[in-house]
Amino acid sequence: MTLTATTPFQIPAEPPHAMLCNREWLLDCHCAAPVLELLKGQGWDVISDLYANVHCSSPDRRVYVGFLPETKEAARGELWHIQVKDADGEVAWDQTFGSSVPAQAVAGFLAALIAFPNRSCACV
């Protein structure tokens, strides 16, 4: 099978203005505030422990988000832990984000999950 382009690829002479706007926010915030504000606004339980770790649970208790700066995992670079359980309470999947990932990126990931609470893929 051979793939051919129908139109030649052209690099724009100058990127659109939107691509040039200030994106330093993608590099700077490593606090938990953007994520915690998002989850609190969605009715999640948010609890801090004595060690400055923060544990969040979705209203149905099937999603856990942990901001865990004072754990051995954080020492290895795993600051954020997200865990999703199936209907039987078994872990279906999990995701970690390191300390170099801005909180806004973690909040965006979670906002995408929250935006689609029901199964929307016809293949499942």
CA distance 14 to 114: 36
Please provide the average confidence, as pLDDT, over all residues in the chain: 83
Q: Is the pLDDT of residue 65 over 60?
A: yes
Mean pLDDT over 73-88 rounds to 94
CA-closest candidate to residue 105, choices 82, 86, 76, 123: 82
The string of pLDDT tens digits covering residues 34-45 is: 999 999 999 999
pTM for this prediction? 0.75
